[in-house]
Amino acid sequence: MFKKILVANRSEIAVRIFRTLRELGIQSVAVYSEPDAQAPHVLAADDAVLIGPAPARESYLKISAILDAARKTGAQAIHPGYGFLSENSSFAQACEQAGIAFIGPTADSMRKLGDKRAARETAQQLGVPTVPGVNECDTSEQIRAAVHQVGLPILLKASAGGGGKGMRLIHQESELDEAIQASQREALSAFGDSRLMVEKFVSPARHIEVQLLSDAHGNVIALGERECSLQRRYQKIIEESPSAAVSSELREKIQEAACKLARATGYRNAGTAEFLLGPDGNFYFLEVNTRLQVEHPVTECVTGLDLVRKQIEIAAGEKLSLQQKDILLRGHAIEARLYAEDPSNRFLPTTGKILKLRWPTLPGVRIDSGIREGQEILTHYDPLLAKVIAWGLDREQARQRLIQALRETVLLGLVTNQSFLVQLLEDDSFKNGKTFIHTVESTMWDDPEEEWKEPMLLTAALALSSRTQRDRNARAEDRVMSKDPHSPWESLGRWRMLG
């Protein structure tokens, strides 16, 4: 087993990995950019190394700086977390060449499955159903030809990564030029690769994914499915496991398709196979995320497994101690992503100083956070602040617990999507398990590219929630800045949020 591991990431995922390292008795190393010098992930590690200025390309995406930090601190392995270099095969290969273990798949497996084009081709060869589309779309001319071949509406997607980066929905041919340029810019910025692909837009559809674990000894298991249909700007907001739309029979079919992909490519470590579930009940392979997912906590809650621990054990050469028959899903788990963004302003990121921060302490509730009171939230990185996860004996108990946890969360100083999350969880469509990939956008506006429109379902509530939160933040800032020891804000604390 490794004695020291460097985490090539930041914020909540780095903090979460450090927790497992501490439990295993493994020394931890953080890397950080200049504005992150006092960030929680830096304070949570045993050692920390400055790797560059704020821009990710000069710090968290700089392979040479991260490898230098590993050599300097004597780290034997690197965990990439998610985002940044986590799905970069060149980084995985550079680690191998430097004699440093990469806690993830091999560079070869990553090239086969981490790249959307290669993954689609592999799935098609194996007979796994895929969404109709065209893989080779490197130029505007090729994209236009693909659109004519597939037929509108279509999705433009980045070939080299996920997380909704570089993705655009196109309904009319007149939207193509602007969408192509925007997708290529965003893909190049996020992944250093501007290649795109075209897929037919399936609607209404659910986003279903299967968590995989596979070792270097040929063992592959699936840990059930997660539903991640509630999204905004093609990025997930709320995830749950298991899915209300997946029967035991369908689960078995999707899991087998996912395991087939892993076996055929010699995949090793944790990965996630993502699928679309169409209105006809058929499923279509989308991609494989060759890394730990943001939403991995819901799988941990229903399986009782520590996925980071499993990743480390597999990277150290150990065999999986579990077989497929050992995997039992217990209860239900739901995760809400708390973002620094304004739902009433088209989910644009927000900035500010965290003036007050209090997390709930409730049965069945887990908080994965990468922020602290007094921290300045800037625009350099993803606006994800924390994840609030609730487990229950059934879906309704998990839903109620998550709502209560969000209501008891006190996060003041900047606008967040906290109230918006509560509104989604309380909406009848979510209560009844009838949510789809475009539920959020179609509920709030006719066209995602147009300005906010009223009146529509949830719009009034969201706008009111956003205004209320701004007013609350302003009042809180006055109280906090006044440093009044008799302030009722200090004495009431979380209780005030229960109303």
What is the pLDDT tens value at each position of the chain, 499 positions in all? Answer: 999 999 999 999 999 999 999 999 999 999 999 999 999 999 999 999 999 999 999 999 999 999 999 999 999 999 999 999 999 999 999 999 999 999 999 999 998 887 788 888 899 999 999 988 887 777 888 888 888 898 999 988 888 766 677 888 898 888 888 888 888 888 888 777 888 889 888 889 999 999 999 999 999 999 999 999 999 887 899 999 999 999 999 999 999 999 999 999 999 999 999 999 998 899 999 999 999 999 999 999 999 999 999 999 999 999 999 999 999 999 999 999 999 999 988 899 999 999 999 999 999 999 999 999 999 999 999 999 999 999 999 999 999 999 999 999 999 999 999 999 999 999 999 999 999 998 887 765 434 343 333 323 343 344 444 555 555 555 544 444 444 444 433 333 333 333 2
Of 403, 387, 383, 406, the residue nearest 395 (C-alpha): 403
**Same domain, yes or no: 261 and 149:** no
DSSP H helices, 209-282, are: 248-264
Which residues are registered as beta bridge partners of 198?
134, 156
> Does residue 326 belong to any structural domain of this protein?
no
CA atoms of 214 and 220, how far apart (whole Å): 4
**Same domain, yes or no: 311 and 394:** no
**Same domain, yes or no: 215 and 81:** no
By the 10 Å C-beta count (0-12 exposed, 13-18 middle, 19+ buried), 396 is classed as: exposed
> Does residue 322 belong to any structural domain of this protein?
no
CA atoms of 89 and 104, how far apart (whole Å): 10
Q: Are 208 and 277 in contact (CB under 8 A)?
A: yes
CA angle at residue 375 from 239 to 489, to 5 degrees? Answer: 90
> Does residue 325 belong to any structural domain of this protein?
no
**Same domain, yes or no: 91 and 121:** no
**Same domain, yes or no: 461 and 345:** yes
Of 104, 91, 80, 95, the residue nearest 9 (C-alpha): 80
| 266 CB-near residues (< 8 Å, 6+ apart) | 106, 108, 109
The dihedrals phi and psi of 165, each to the nearest 5 degrees, come to -70, 130
**Same domain, yes or no: 238 and 190:** no
Of 236, 237, 240, 238, the residue nearest 227 (C-alpha): 240
**Same domain, yes or no: 268 and 380:** no
The tokens describing 412, both together, are 């003041």
Residue 55's Cβ-side half-sphere holds a number of Cα atoms within 13 Å equal to 5
Q: Are 183 and 156 in contact (CB under 8 A)?
A: yes
Per-residue b/e over 405-421, b at no fewer than 16 CB within 10 Å? bbbbbbbbbbbbbbbbb
> Does residue 36 belong to any structural domain of this protein?
yes
> Does residue 323 belong to any structural domain of this protein?
no
> Does residue 321 belong to any structural domain of this protein?
no
Of 20, 60, 104, 102, the residue nearest 272 (C-alpha): 104
**Same domain, yes or no: 245 and 394:** no
The domain in which residue 243 lies consists of: 104-129+205-316
**Same domain, yes or no: 180 and 234:** no
> Does residue 324 belong to any structural domain of this protein?
no
**Same domain, yes or no: 400 and 482:** yes
> Does residue 476 belong to any structural domain of this protein?
yes
- For the whole model, what pTM was predicted? 0.84
- Report the number of distinct structural domains present in the chain: 4
